[in-house]
Amino acid sequence: MPIRNRFAEMHEEIAGWRRHLHAHPELMFDVHETAAFVTERLKEFGITDITEGIGQTGVVAVIEGKTNTSDRVIGLRADMDALPIEEITGLDYASSVPGKMHACGHDGHTSMLLGAAKYLSEKRNFDGKVVLIFQPAEEGGGGGKVMCDDGLMDRWGVQEVYGMHNAPGVPVGQFATRPGPLMASADQFEIVVTGKGGHAAEPHNAIDTNLAAAHVLIALQSIAARNTDPLKQIVVSVCGMRSDNDSFNVIPHTVSLRGTVRTLDKGVRDMAEERVTQIALHTAEAYGATADVNYERGYPITINHDDNAGFASDAAEAVVGPENVERNVPPIMPAEDFSYMLEERPGAYMFIGNGDSAQCHHPAYNFDDEAIPVGCSWFAEIVERRMPAA
């Protein structure tokens, strides 16, 4: 079934929700107004099984099909949070909050799931249950994990779970995903190198912390170049380098290096953690300095389950035709906390085309409302195809 006529009828209404959310962005777990807006809409649709406050400010709602003989339960997830960015789009519905902006299209994801919820609650043309998952704090807060830690999957009996993210550069009306790793893990580290500060003209009486830290920084690149199987992917980026002195004539006492490690392979991830630590400790030591390493694991690798990725692509093909679905797109190195949900249940994450827009996290980014009926239809197709009416 292609884009459902009902979504064409609802297009303006859903775009209206999207623009309202766009004008009122909230960050991290502080999505109280957004969650209230979501809950209000769900109640308007006649949905009664709504639970707020899961994962602090997440919302979970249940829609039952006309029948429930299948005992199947599918979770559909959207993220609700915005970013600390000053918007420059000049849109008439641009952010009304200084320094906050829906620059990643989560306003679009939330609205599309609301649109699907309205349709599914009207038609109930399926046999089973749909669990709608509206999550906070995707942008660095791990809201997906916090919802899972609150018992999301067990409490609502979710058996499989699907989510999607808009993709700038992919034409509107197209989808892309792949079986296996789709997005990278994201770990972060801080290395504090301590030498012995002193007079720049008398380095022999000091231990040059900058020199030691610079060698640590360079040596970290050997993890990608020399320690990783060339056919596997990794990024090690040192992003912050700061010393306790920025004069022209003082050797600093401490220098901190901050960075991130991204990879698509669990073994490579373990290896990189070990190597970052060993390289920092021993390289610093070679220059007479010491290193303290704080390595923190962040979002896991987003790994689509093979069968579910195939099914998600089938559903997309039903909506937009096989010529508009890339079933084996190359993975990308940004991270996504839907990964935590995929660690608990089978499922898949899908990219939906956002056309020729600015990139996500750019102050000129905007979600393309033309994608709304496409995304809503995919959510509906997932449900009606997986749990056909008895």
Q: For residue 207, give the DSSP letter.
A: B
CB nearer Ni ion, residue 108 or residue 195: 108
Q: From 100-108, 222-230, 290-298, 366-374, give the range in contact with Ni ion by CB under 5 A.
A: 100-108
Nearest distance, CB of residue 205 and Ni ion, angstroms = 51
CB nearer Ni ion, residue 83 or residue 255: 83
Question: Is residue 90 exposed (0-12), middle (13-18) or buried (19+ Cβ within 10 Å)?
Answer: exposed
Mind giving me the DSSP string for 80-108?
--BBS-------TT--SSTT-B--SSHHH
CB nearer Ni ion, residue 257 or residue 301: 301
Strand partners, 74: 130, 160
176 forms part of the interface with Ni ion (CB under 5 A): no
Distance CA 119, CA 376 (A): 9
What are the tokens at 111?
């609205």
**Nearest by Cα to 372 from 1, 8, 2:** 8
Nearest distance, CB of residue 317 and Ni ion, angstroms = 24
113 forms part of the interface with Ni ion (CB under 5 A): no
28 forms part of the interface with Ni ion (CB under 5 A): no
Distance CA 158, CA 62 (A): 11
CB nearer Ni ion, residue 81 or residue 187: 81
Distance CA 259, CA 272 (A): 13
103 forms part of the interface with Ni ion (CB under 5 A): no
Give yes or no for a contact between 157 and 64, defined as CB atoms under 8 angstroms apart.
no
CB nearer Ni ion, residue 192 or residue 360: 360
**Nearest by Cα to 251 from 295, 198, 298, 302:** 198
CB nearer Ni ion, residue 108 or residue 347: 108
104 forms part of the interface with Ni ion (CB under 5 A): yes
Nearest distance, CB of residue 365 and Ni ion, angstroms = 10
Nearest distance, CB of residue 375 and Ni ion, angstroms = 14
Nearest distance, CB of residue 106 and Ni ion, angstroms = 6
Q: From 104-112, 127-135, 248-256, 373-381, give the range in contact with Ni ion by CB under 5 A.
A: 104-112
112 forms part of the interface with Ni ion (CB under 5 A): no
Residues in the chain: 390
Query: Backbone dihedral region of 333: left (phi > 0), alpha (psi from -120 to 50 degrees) or beta?
Result: alpha
**Which residue carries 């608990």 as its tokens?**
344
186 forms part of the interface with Ni ion (CB under 5 A): no
Size of the site for Ni ion (CB under 5 A): 1
CB closest to Ni ion, residue no: 104
Nearest distance, CB of residue 79 and Ni ion, angstroms = 6
* Sites of contact with Ni ion (CB under 5 A): 104
